[in-house]
Copies of this chain bind each other. A is one copy, B any other.
Amino acid sequence: MDLTHEIESFNVREAMYILDRSYRDFPLKTVFLAVVDQGVGTERRAIALDTREGYSFVGPDNGIFTLVAEELECEALVELSNPAYYYTNPPSRTFHGRDIFAPAAAYLSKGVPFGELGRKVSRPITIPIKPAILEENTLHGEIAYFDRFGNIETNIPGEFLTRISSLRGGLITVTIVNTDFPAHLHEAYGEVPPGELIVHTDSSGYLEIAVNQGNARQVTGAKAGEAVILKA
């Protein structure tokens, strides 16, 4: 099944977050094929990651698996170096999704062992993330990605919010880079007037900045990876 084809072009960070927040809803033994790949055809490696928990991941070694590799226990990590499992040999220089990654995911789903697909390697590339930090009355984190409504998803766990303020319906200041926005603390979009900003814990358990019936991405001009600060 297709999880999404709506990742922004070249946005590895967005893919990393969406994969991380989605994989737990799939059954164990699911093989995830994740490709955002501006380095296709260059020296970046093609990899497959097996985890003790039972999920597997196939894609380019460009940081797209940073979060899942951090959370899950690595059982095997191989470079997809065995051309016997390519769609074409040599593979094209521009479409490894077709020529290397999709065949590898398909073979894994059929029970081919990871070790067959190529040589073992030690660790995947990771991309730097601004960690979520709780200070006195202030939360720091980064903008993870946007959903199709323009809601802003952060990497700040929802439980942090209760630590700085328990005042439901209160106000909070959202700072994105150098701009401040006032926002309501509420749990449902419909609890604030249309057009106003709301900060709440979204359905994945992280803080989301949204505009009721509007587009928070446009309203704030936020970009993925930017720093975000919430202050009570």
Residues of B within 8 A of A187 (CB): 41, 93-94
A42 in contact with B190 given A9-B149, A10-B213 (CB within 8 Å): yes
A41 in contact with B188 given A9-B149, A213-B10 (CB within 8 Å): yes
Interface centre among A40, A93, A187 (most CB of B within 10 A): A93
By DSSP majority rule, is chain A's interface helix, strand, loop, or mixed? loop
A residues 143-198 touching B (CB-CB < 8 Å): 148-149, 187-191
A95 in contact with B42 given A149-B9, A213-B10 (CB within 8 Å): no
- Copies of this protein in the complex: 3
Residues of B within 8 A of A10 (CB): 213
Residues of B within 8 A of A25 (CB): 98
A residues contacting B by CB (< 8 A) are 9-10, 25, 38-42, 92-95, 98-99, 148-149, 187-191, 200, 202-203, 208, 212-213
10 A-B pairs within 8 Å (CB atoms) are namely A9-B148, A9-B149, A38-B189, A41-B191, A42-B191, A92-B202, A94-B189, A94-B203, A94-B208, A95-B202
